[in-house]
Every structure is written in structure tokens, then in C-alpha cells.
Amino acid sequence: MTGQHPLADIDPIIHASARLMILTYLYVVESADYVFIMNMTGLTWGNLATHLNKLEEAGYIEILKTFKGKKPHTSLRMTETGRTAFQTYKKTMQQVLGDLQD
């Protein structure tokens, strides 16, 4: 959608506040587990699961389900595609907000 208004370039997958929070934390760490992201973002289990599925479908994160002993353990990691998309989103938003005059 280049050539249009910069707002049109904003990635709708990232532009939801919950997903932006998730990606912010996953961007600054190498990987984190489900409980950690839940604590950091304050999202509920179900809500987080919904957003993570959308991010995984977009290829922005990887979800790895394993077992630690008898307990299930979900590990989350941002993909390179996700990192690039997050950086692009950040740049676009800075440009859009910078262009907004009082």
C-alpha cells in the first residue's frame, strides 16, 4: 500500500494494543514462556491465547509447546519476520505521529 497515506501502511496485526504489548516484550527478550508474557501484559489466559494465535498465523512469533515434567510448558519467540515487522511498525508510527501537527 505504499504511495498512499502513511496511516494505510500501519500493520493492523501489530496495531492492536494487546498484540503490541506482547510483541514489545517478545522483542526485548530472546524467548519467554506463556506465564511470563501473561504477567508482563496483564492479559488473561484466554485473551492472550487468542492474540498469540493471530501473531503466529502472521508468522510474527513461534509457539513451542513442550512438557516440563508432567506440566505443559509454552515457550514464545519472535521470528525474524516479526522483528522486521515490529521495526517497520515503529518507524511508520514515529513518522505518522511526527507528521501530526498541533
Partner 1 sequence: MQEPINLKSAERKAFQTNVADGLWDVFIGCFLLELAFAPFLSKFMGDFWSSFIFLPFFGLVYLAIYLVRKNVVAPRIGTFKYGKPRQKKLMVFTIIMVVLNLVIFLLGLIAYFIFDKFSNGFLMGALLGILIMVGFSAAAYFLEYPRLYLYGSLIMLAPLLGEWLYTYHGASHHGYPIVFGPIAGFMILIGLITFARLLKNHPEIEIPEGE
Binding site for partner 1 (CB under 8 A): 17, 20-21, 24-25, 27-40, 45-46, 49, 71-72, 74
First-residue to last-residue Cα distance in the chain: 27
Distance between CA atoms of residues 66 and 80, nearest Å: 22
3-state secondary structure of 78: strand
Which H or E element spans position 21? helix 17-28
Complex with partner 1: residue 6 or 25, whichever CB lies closer:
25
Complex with partner 1: residue 27 or 59, whichever CB lies closer:
27
Q: To the nearest whole angstrom, how small is the minimum distance from the Cβ of residue 94 to partner 1?
A: 11
Q: To the nearest whole angstrom, how small is the minimum distance from the Cβ of residue 4 to partner 1?
A: 25
